[in-house]
Amino acid sequence: MISFDIHPFEGAGPIKFGTSRSRVLEILSAPRRERLREDSWGPLSNINVGYNEEGKVCEVGLRPGDFELRFNGRLIWSPDRHPDPNPIFLVLDPEPLERVGFLVFTKLGVATVGYHDDDPAQFAVSIYQEGAWDELLVKARRPDLDKYKLSA
């Protein structure tokens, strides 16, 4: 079982920003298949890796799957349990922005989708490089976080 540990603006260990495609495939032990996109790994593309023009990792996207997700060592998801990660992220960055359906935690380098608007089909966490959301956040707004105030 693989464990991803989010480190703000560095990546989701063991996949760090700047890692090559070939190294990502080694880390994930992913076989190359004709129909499998080079930026995806896993049966339902639960693990998606974005690459820049040089073929280096610039984003890691994770949907609930058969792996652990941690933030600086703190367990967020286990293979059989995938709770809403936003309460954890809100403690660390209480003023996220919302843009195109994502909650963007600008202090953490993390964006989530699906959880704050109760859409299980979109549940995902994205780990991004510093500055990656800057252009989109120009038109961002403060999200409605009442859902989380009630559960606090």
For residue 112, what is the enclosing H or E element?
A: strand 110-113
What's residue 30's pLDDT? Answer: 55
> Residue 125 and residue 10: Cα distance in Å, rounded?
15
Per-residue pLDDT of 106-123, as tens digits, reads 999 999 999 998 888 899
User: Cα(14)–Cα(90) distance, rounded to whole angstroms?
Assistant: 24
Q: Which of 9, 8, 41 is nearest to 130 (CA)?
A: 9
- Assess whether pLDDT exceeds 70 at residue 68: yes
Residue 53 carries which side chain, given as an amino acid letter?
E
Listed range (7-21, 29-43, 72-86) with the worst mean pLDDT: 29-43
Q: What is the DSSP letter of 64?
A: S
pLDDT the model gives residue 66: 87
Using DSSP bridges, classify how beta strands 97-99 and 102-105 pair: parallel, antiparallel or unpaired: antiparallel
Q: Tokens 């480190």 appear where?
A: 7
pLDDT 10s digits, 24-61 = 988 887 544 433 444 444 444 688 899 999 999 999 99
- Residue 89 backbone dihedrals phi, psi, to 5 degrees: -65, -35
Residue 47: both structure tokens together: 């693990």
pLDDT(69) > 90: yes
Rounded Cα distance between 3 and 131, Å, is 25
Mean of pLDDT over the chain? 87
The fraction of the chain above a pLDDT of 90, given in percent, is 64
CB 75 within 8 Å of CB 68 = yes
* pLDDT of res. 109: 96
> Closest Cα partner for 84 from 101, 58, 60, 103?
103
